[in-house]
Amino acid sequence: MNIAAVDLFCGAGGLSYGLEQAGISVTAGFDKDPDCKHPFEQNVDAEFRQTDIRALAKDPEGVARMFPWDSDLDVLAACAPCQPYSTLSHSKDTTREDHEKWGLLNDVKEIVEYVEPDVVVTENVLQVRSDGVYDRFIDSLEENGYHVNCDENKNVYCPEYGIPQNRKRWVVMASKKGPISLPEPPFQDESEYPTAREAIGHLPPIDAGEVHPDHAVHRGQQLSEKNLERIRHMDPGDDWRVWEERGLDHLLADCHKKESGRSYKAPYSRMEPDKPAPTITTQFYNYGSGRFGHFDTDQDRALSVLEGALLQTFPEDYDFYDDWDEVGVSNLGRLIGNAVPPRLAEYAGKGILSHIGETVPATSTTVADD
């Protein structure tokens, strides 16, 4: 069959890349961020369109035209930003409705209703389930004849799909052709989960502020003298309380000196090598943003840009940028942290192929042998 996919909110191409690895052709990716153009077009065999999805919802014919006339199965992927629903993205004084990206799933609903693709795939954080926009989206799918995967299948724990990070996601798969679902997770035993060491332990060591001469994306952010002292007094799996126990109170962050901040254990700590890494956020390269200190106590630094990408299951040679000075660490961190892990996207692609009875590729450059 001739299967064609269009990717809304395509970002750096994580979802599209994974679909292509599964054997699904991607024809176009839409995103309003111009920094997405280079990584998307260099790694995905598709055209990038810099467009705000809200504008497409008002004129969805632009999406419909991206599907080839001779396609046997049209797939619309639409992973709206998770920030309105993530507890990390707004303060206690704001609601998800206050967030500038809230409601984009409603724009996806409008596009789906117009284009009527055969298959719809979305991915978001678990908290999206509690929003009325999500409920209206699912209701619209069902009212328009789509079979939607069950909630148990939607609830994804990424290590079970071979992704070496404690990432939890909500994946909706819907089809007009009949029941559809993600494949059963291949790694259901905790002892089988991929680890941080397996994903990044082979990379050559670098120091904070150093760029590896053979791989410009393998670079660590500079650390202040206090942060260098902090990480040197931190073992993998420990947290800031070890400083308190050792009488190193000068290393405590201001938030940890308050009762309200004592429950935040992750910042300024090191990840554990033989467990999945923490969820890779857009700030994974910042030592103080979570448990993003390198597990190797001979490397006193946060994760490099490359390490974050590998933990997201991008291939090591993924081409993220053309001119480093025009992109920089913060933009690449945002693109990598916001991406759908390519390995998860590939499993979604395998689910689509299985759904229509196509042969799933026996080998892959992304998904490990089950």
pLDDT digits (tens, 9 = 90+) for 314-325: 999 999 999 998
- Considering only CA atoms, give the Rg of the chain: 21
Strands 47-50 and 25-31, bridge-based pairing? parallel
Residue 82 and residue 340 in contact, taking contact as beta carbons nearer than 8 Å? no
Q: Do 36 and 13 form a contact (C-beta atoms < 8 A)?
A: yes
| pLDDT value of position 109 | 96
Query: Does residue 82 carry a catalytic annotation?
Result: yes
Contact 49, 32 (CB under 8 A): no
The pair phi, psi for residue 366, each rounded to 5°, is: -115, -55
pTM attached to this predicted model: 0.91
* Nearest-angstrom CA–CA distance, 69 and 50: 23
Position 264 scores a pLDDT of 82
Tell me what pLDDT residue 361 has. 57
Rounded to the nearest 10 degrees, the angle between the axes of helix 104-115 and helix 132-143 is 10
User: How confident is the model at residue 262, as a pLDDT?
Assistant: 81
In the set 10, 79, 82, 158, the catalytic residue is 82
CATH for 3-188+340-355? 3.40.50.150
- Beta-carbon contacts of 66 under 8 Å, excluding residues fewer than 6 positions away, are 6, 27, 28, 47, 49
Q: What is the pLDDT of residue 70?
A: 94
21: which DSSP letter? H
Q: Point out the residues of the chain with pLDDT beneath 70.
A: 82-102, 358-370
In CATH terms, the fold of domain 196-336 is DNA Methylase; Chain A, domain 2 (3.90.120)
Query: What gap in Å lies between CA 21 and CA 347, rounded to an integer?
Result: 9
Single-letter amino acid, residue 201: G
pLDDT on residue 88: 41
Q: What does the domain layout of the chain look like in residue ranges?
A: 3-188+340-355, 196-336
Residue 144, classified by CB atoms within 10 Å of its CB into exposed (0-12), middle (13-18) or buried (19+), is: middle
Quote the pLDDT of residue 221.
96
The whole-number pLDDT of residue 97 equals: 44
Given this model, what pLDDT does residue 83 score? 55
